[in-house]
Amino acid sequence: MHSTGTTKKANIIYYAEKQKKKGNAILREIDVGHPCAKNMLELSRAQDEEVGDGTTSVIILAGEMLSVAEPLLDKNIHPTVIVSGFNLFARFFIC
Distance, C-alpha 7 to centroid of its chain: 31
| Residue 58 CB partners (closer than 8 Å, separation 6+) | 43, 44, 47
Please give the pLDDT value at position 93. 85
Please give the pLDDT value at position 7. 66
Please give the pLDDT value at position 4. 53
Average pLDDT, the chain: 79
Percent of the chain with pLDDT over 90: 24
Neighbour tally for 47: CB within 10 Å? 19
Please give the pLDDT value at position 18. 58
pLDDT tens for 31-64 read 778 888 888 888 888 888 888 778 888 888 888 9
